[in-house]
Amino acid sequence: MSRQDDFANVLIADSDPELARFLLEILARKGIRGHLVSSKEKAIDFISRGSCDFVFTGEAISSMTEKSGRKQDGFELLDNVRENWPELPVVMIAQARDVESHNQWQTIRTVVKAVRRGCYDFLTRPPDRDKIESLLDTFLPNHSVSTIASAQEDTRSLYRIVGRSANLIQIVELAKKIAPTSAPVLISGESGTGKELIAYLVHHRSKRAQGSYIKINCAALSDSLLESELFGHEKGAFTGACAQRKGRFEMAHGGTLLLDEITETPIKFQAKLLRVLEQQDFERVGGNESVRVDVRIISTTNKNLLDEVRQGRFREDLYYRLSGARLVICPLRERREDLSDLVWYFVNLYAHEAQRYITELDPAMMDIFARYHWPGNVRQLRNVVRMSLTLGAGPVLSLADVSWLFDELQPLTQQDYADYELSSDKYINGDFGLGGVPLEHLERRAIMDTLRQTGGNQTKAAKVLGISDRTLRDRIHRYRQEGSLQPV
């Protein structure tokens, strides 16, 4: 288990060798990777790869003369960044000539121009070391976190699984063992637990890592669109089909296809999917030509598939076809050892948005986190940390300035906790637990309580519950048919 596996990347767009050495030295001591370019075009190329976290630039990047007309390429870079990567912080360092000539008005005009065009800060040469370090601490915090697995490609982080709990370590080790095989993988777990991260780990550690990794969210598409998205369509197959289009299966040939929330597919479509998985060939919608593919399938679900099979909502033969290997990810409430690492990880990720330098986590806040049951799991924790960063102030991360979160993060009562334990048992074992209360009743209660808390806002309730809008609408429709929907 490593403590810090990926690094922030800072771009230095300037041709001054003295400034470059000065900045690179500071970056190296902070464990930050510095990348030096001497033209606007190279700077834009580097940023466009999606691996840049911070930019230092001069008013003039290249060392051309005034007659070349390129003295403003630093501002051209700034304009390009603001248009295409509006959240990327850029700090401009004024040309030494402004200081040496004592032309204060020229310097002031340059500062105003830079700030108006989106610079986060403006420094003069030679820049102050403490100021540079303060900017880096604010925008690129580098608090140490425990990492179980991670991977990088060049300067880009592919994935990072943060934590230290035994449950999480066990799942990661199992995923690594399964990865080199060709077995289909079924990953189960509550919404927000990190199923997609584990899915990508399996792909990246597999023999198909050089192939495509294609994802499709089965819950986000209608029945008709799902077939077209997966299998593609021929020109003229339906209104609006102006050209032949490859589906996700074809795109994933030689690689991996992730079927996210597989339980959201209708029974009728499941029969078509089973045939494709068995034979590895299909016809595009509106076509007769058979298309052969070689694809590994990874599926995810936030439900107990065996229970869905018993309820007649999922085909038994498809279940056994998908679950060649099965991984069950524990909810965050069973991984409390990971809380501190996850909070610091999200601080590293989002502190730049609030421009806060966080040095400490409030013990009272962490105690609340430890006692809370986290129905939205890691996704909910991320949102809470991000909101606390945005609305709070000072170097200590706490809930003091977001008091409404105290009401949301109340611990469960003894009975509620028993219900959650029952829910967890039912999820894993597919049976009934304490008191014989079905999981459906607990699910209905959680949905109704959340709708009341959100004033009937279904989109907000779905986010809190960690389910899709479509899933929530289906549940509400079913409750109405059953006559069990109470006024919000």
Angle of helix 469-482 relative to helix 458-465, nearest 10 degrees, comes to 110
- d(CA 58, CA 339) in angstroms, rounded, equals 41
Q: Which residue has the higher pLDDT, 425 or 401?
A: 401
pLDDT tens digit sequence for 125-145? 889 999 999 999 989 888 889
Kindly tell me if the per-residue pLDDT of 287 is higher than 80: no
Instruction: For domain 166-328, give the CATH number.
Output: 3.40.50.300
Per-residue pLDDT at 247: 82
Lowest mean pLDDT, pick from 278-282, 293-297, 454-458, 483-487:
483-487
CB-based contacts of 98: which residues, under 8 Å, 6+ apart? 106, 107, 110, 124
Tell whether the model's pLDDT for residue 436 goes beyond 50. Answer: no
Please state the rounded mean pLDDT for residues 165-170: 93
* Predicted pLDDT of residue 422: 53
Average confidence (pLDDT) over 154-168: 86
CATH 3.40.50.2300 range(s) for the chain read 9-139
The band of 439, judged by pLDDT with boundaries at 50, 70 and 90, is low
Q: What number is the average pLDDT over the span 191-196?
A: 93
pLDDT at residue number 5: 47
Query: Tokens at residue 482, please?
Result: 């059953």
Task: Check pLDDT > 80 for residue 291.
Answer: yes
Identify which has the larger pLDDT, 282 or 308. Answer: 308
Confidence of residue 438 (pLDDT cuts 50, 70, 90): low
Interval 147-156 mean pLDDT? 80
For 385-391, which contacts have Cβ atoms below 8 Å and span 24 or more sequence positions? 385/343, 385/346, 385/347, 385/350, 386/346, 386/350, 386/353, 389/347, 389/350, 389/351, 389/353, 389/354, 389/356, 389/358, 390/353, 390/354
Whether the predicted pLDDT of 430 surpasses 60:
no
For the segment 251-271, the average pLDDT, to the nearest whole number, is 91
pLDDT for residue 179: 95
CA distance 288 to 272: 15
CA nearest neighbour of 216 among 248, 242, 170: 248
Asked if 165 contacts 337 with a C-beta cutoff of 8 angstroms, the reply is yes
Both structure tokens of 358? 């966080």
Whether residue 92 is predicted with pLDDT greater than 50 in this model: the reply is: yes
Across the chain, what does the average pLDDT equal?
83
Sequence-distant contacts of 37-43: CB under 8 A, at least 24 apart: 37/11, 37/12, 37/13, 37/61, 38/13, 38/14, 38/62, 38/63, 39/13, 39/73, 40/13, 40/73, 40/74, 40/76, 40/77, 40/80, 42/13, 43/11, 43/13, 43/77
- pLDDT at 415 > cutoff 60: no
Residue 61: the pLDDT is 82
Query: Looking at the predicted structure, is the pLDDT value of residue 488 above 60?
Result: no
Contact 123, 92 (CB under 8 A): yes
CA atoms within 13 A on the CB side of 151: 13
Q: 63-67, 82-86, 154-158: which has the highest mean pLDDT?
A: 82-86
> Could you tell me the two tokens for 201?
């780990």
What's the average model confidence in pLDDT over 421-435? 46
99-120 per-residue burial string, b: 16 or more CB within 10 A, e: under 16: eeeeeeeebeebbebbeeeebb
Q: What are phi and psi of 332, to 5 degrees?
A: -60, -30
Torsion sign across C-alpha atoms 438, 444, 446, 449: negative
pLDDT given at position 197? 94
Q: Where do we find the tokens 């003229």?
A: 236
- Is the model's pLDDT at 100 over the cut of 70? no
Confidence of residue 344 (pLDDT cuts 50, 70, 90): very high
Distance from chain centroid for Cα 250: 25
Place of tokens 């799991």: 377
- Express as a percent the part of the chain with pLDDT over 70: 85
Closest to 213 (Cα-Cα) out of 272, 264, 153? 153
pLDDT at 202 over 70: yes
Strand duo 156-162 + 185-188: pairing: unpaired
- Amino acid identity of 166? A
**Could you tell me how many residues make up the chain?**
488
Closest CA to 97 of 125, 133, 70, 55: 125
Q: Which of 251-265, 423-437, 470-484 shows the highest mean pLDDT? A: 251-265
In 3D, which of 481, 480, 443, 483 has the Cα closest to residue 465?
443
The pLDDT score that the predictor gives to residue 159 is 86
Residue with the larger pLDDT of the pair 481 and 477: 477
Which whole number is the average pLDDT over 436-453? 68
Residue 485 is predicted with a pLDDT of 55
What number of H helices and E strands is found in the chain?
Answer: 21, 16
Could you tell me if 97 and 125 are in contact, meaning their C-beta atoms sit under 8 angstroms apart? no
Burial 163-186 (b: 16+ CB within 10 A, else e): bbbebbeebbebbeebbeeebbbb
> Does the pLDDT value for residue 147 go beyond 80?
yes
Q: Where in the sequence of the chain do the CATH 3.40.50.300 domains occur? A: 166-328
pTM of the model: 0.75
| For range 59-83, the mean pLDDT | 73
d(C-alpha 354, C-alpha 340), whole Å: 20
| pLDDT value of position 460 | 80
Cα 241 to Cα 398: distance, rounded to the nearest angstrom: 53
- Give pLDDT tens digits for 110-119: 788 888 888 8
Task: Give the pLDDT confidence score for residue 49 in this predicted structure.
Answer: 86
CATH 3.40.50.300 fits 9-139, yes or no: no
For residue 214, list its beta bridge partners.
257
Most confident of 91-95, 217-221, 249-253, 448-452: 249-253
